[in-house]
Amino acid sequence: MLDAIASTWNHWDLIVSFALRDIKARYKQTALGVAWALLQPLSMMVVFTLVFSVFAKVPSDGAPYPIFAYSGLIFWTFFSNTISTGTVSMVANATLIRKIYFPRETLLTSVVLAGCLDLAIACLLFAAMLFYYKIAITAAVLWVIPLVILQVLLALGFTGLTAAAHVNFRDIGHALPLILQLWMFASPVGYPISVIPAWLQPFYMLNPMAAIIDGYRRAVLLGTAPDLYALAVSAVITVGVLALALPIFKHAERTFADVI
């Protein structure tokens, strides 16, 4: 784990370069540019508001449903985009991997970093919505920082596993969109945790993203601390995933150039 932190520190310039490349390349020759970073969560918010709130009358813990959905969606989008881009990042950079050595995990970290920009842009609109709905922010908003860190670590761990697997088995590329979609519905993105039956809750909270997304909502919309017990479970799972992913990725990395 310390190695990974040291490597990230030592190769920070490379990570930034990759992230800049991805961001610049992503929005070159597009008419809307970075506005695309807003359109994804925004359009999902409209759909969710219609389906969950207007049609199905799902509650939203007292907050107006659109901002409730948007707050879940931006963090989920960050998570799922990181994983789906990260997973294919090795194959997407195949020519580079075949020809030049550099620590391959920098590609994953750079995906997270590039994702942070999209998240920041989405958060600007979030701030505007908070203002519109007259929701006051309290000191509890600082909880967002550890939550983002936890979420980033979880995404890195998970994508380390899927990226390494994807080099060898392209099946992952087909399965992942499905998995991420199921995962979103298993997380409190469009609905509050309160609608989950009590007997199911202990199992439900095994999904590390459940406590994280719920935590964001409490911190920003309700101005309270996250459910610390659930968050601890989530942190333990995250550390477990990371501890599994790091050695597996570093081992698989040795033969990426041969099989990619």
Interface contacts to another protein, rule CB under 8 A = 13-14, 16-18, 20-21, 24-25, 28-29, 95-102, 168-171, 254-255, 257-260
Q: Pick between residue 33 and residue 240 the one whose CB is nearest to another protein.
A: 33
DSSP state for residue 140 in the 8-state scheme: G
Least distance from another protein to the Cβ atom of residue 90, Å: 13
Give me the residue label for tokens 């961001």: 23
Integer angstrom CA distances of residue 36 from 28, 202, 256:
12, 37, 32
CB closer to another protein, 6 vs 24: 24
Q: Is 206 helix (H, G, I), strand (E, B) or coil?
A: coil
Rounded to a whole number of angstroms, the minimum distance from the CB of residue 63 to another protein is 41
The encoded tokens of residue 5 equal 């932190």
Q: Which is nearer to another protein, 214 or 253 (CB)?
A: 253
Query: Which residue's CB is nearer to another protein, number 54 or number 170?
Result: 170
Which tokens is 21 given? 């490349």
- Give whole-number Cα distances, 245 to 5, 102, 238, 242, in Å: 14, 19, 10, 5
DSSP conformation letters of 7-41:
HHHHTHHHHHHHHHHHHHHHHTT-SSGGGHHHHHH
Residue with smaller CB distance to another protein, 37 or 45: 37
C-alpha–C-alpha distance, residues 216 and 226, integer Å: 8
CB of 151 to another protein, least distance (A): 26
Shortest separation between residue 94's beta carbon and another protein, angstroms: 10
Distance (Å, whole) CA 158 – CA 242 = 7
CB of 25 to another protein, least distance (A): 5
